[in-house]
């Protein structure tokens, strides 16, 4: 039933159906993962985090669950960093969220770049060369955002030009380019 509701675009009802299923079968990590993925689509990061953590408690070290949880922490930190300079506690929340995501997935360059961007926006000096070099479009967008946070507009423009040149269609760009890595682009 949840799949039908999802296909019709009603994610709220799909989540409700999945939660009903999880109540009947609380030991199903797949149900908790589907709840989390649907919650992420609605940008309900706290719900997604809880569901991914539940799935991980049932199947520790499952790479899909770790990746999902790190994406949820990343999206939460992005949302919180958008308003982080209005309130200092939001900045701290964003920083903590990103630190958790980086600990879960330390090899993820996008997460490390997001942390560098947040630190740059707060006025901390950041050496992007020590973070790593982007290898795909999603990482290039994150790298460009970190460069923008350091007022390096020319370098950011070069990264975005590379992303655009690597992309043949707008839907492909929204999906992360030919590599298939999805990314979120936030205007600073």
Does some domain include residue 83? yes
**Which pLDDT value is given to residue 86?**
45
**Which pLDDT value is given to residue 27?**
94
Strands of the chain, DSSP E: none
Do 122 and 40 have their domain in common? Answer: no
- Sequential DSSP letters for 113-127: HHHHHHHHHTT----
Do 22 and 76 have their domain in common? Answer: yes
Does some domain include residue 155? yes
Q: CA 56 → CA 20, 46, 49, 51, 125, distances in Å?
A: 19, 15, 10, 9, 35
**Which pLDDT value is given to residue 8?**
80
Q: Please check whether residue 76 is in contact with residue 49, taking contact to mean a CB–CB distance below 8 angstroms.
A: yes
Q: How many domains does the chain have?
A: 2
Does some domain include residue 170? yes
Do 32 and 67 have their domain in common? Answer: yes
Does some domain include residue 140? yes
Do 148 and 171 have their domain in common? Answer: yes
Do 96 and 10 have their domain in common? Answer: yes
Domain final position from 48, 80, 106:
106
Do 58 and 120 have their domain in common? Answer: no
Considering only the C-alpha atoms of the chain, give the largest distance between any 2 of them, rounded to a whole number of Å: 55
Do 67 and 138 have their domain in common? Answer: no
pLDDT averaged over consecutive 10-residue blocks of the chain (188 residues)? 79 88 92 92 90 89 81 76 55 75 82 80 82 86 85 91 83 48 42
How far is Cα 143 from Cα 117, in angstroms, rounded to an integer? Answer: 8
How far is Cα 74 from Cα 100, in angstroms, rounded to an integer? Answer: 9
Domain final position from 84, 106, 128:
106
Do 74 and 153 have their domain in common? Answer: no
Residue closest to 70 by CA, chosen among 38, 110, 35, 31: 110
Query: Domain of 65: which CATH number?
Result: 1.25.40.10
Does some domain include residue 111? no
Do 125 and 181 have their domain in common? Answer: yes
All residues at 6 or more sequence positions from 110 whose CB lies less than 8 Å from its CB, including other chains: 74, 138, 139, 142, 183
What residue numbers bound the domain in which 21 lies? 1-106
Q: What is the pTM of this model?
A: 0.58
Domain final position from 106, 124, 159:
106
Does some domain include residue 58? yes
**Which pLDDT value is given to residue 90?**
64
Does some domain include residue 184? yes
Do 85 and 138 have their domain in common? Answer: no
Do 120 and 101 have their domain in common? Answer: no
**First-to-final CA distance of the chain:** 40
**Which pLDDT value is given to residue 182?**
43
Do 133 and 181 have their domain in common? Answer: yes
**Which pLDDT value is given to residue 170?**
62
């Amino acid at each position: 039933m949840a799949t039908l509701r999802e296909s019709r675009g009603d994610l709220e009802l799909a989540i409700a159906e999945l939660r009903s299923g999880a109540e009947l079968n609380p030991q199903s990590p797949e149900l908790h993962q589907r709840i989390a993925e649907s919650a992420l689509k609605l940008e309900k990061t706290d719900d997604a985090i809880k569901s991914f953590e539940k799935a991980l408690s049932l199947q520790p070290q499952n790479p899909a669950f770790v990746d999902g949880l790190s994406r949820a922490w990343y999206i939460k930190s992005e949302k919180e960093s958008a308003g982080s300079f209005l309130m200092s506690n939001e900045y701290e929340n964003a920083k903590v969220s990103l630190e958790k995501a980086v600990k879960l997935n330390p090899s993820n360059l996008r997460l490390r770049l997001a942390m560098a961007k947040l630190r740059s926006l707060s006025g901390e000096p950041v050496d992007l060369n020590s973070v790593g070099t982007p290898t795909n479009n999603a990482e290039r967008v994150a790298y460009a955002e970190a460069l923008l946070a350091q007022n390096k507009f020319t370098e950011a423009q070069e990264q975005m030009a590379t992303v655009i040149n690597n992309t043949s269609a707008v839907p492909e760009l929204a999906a992360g380019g030919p590599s298939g890595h999805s990314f979120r682009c936030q205007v600073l």
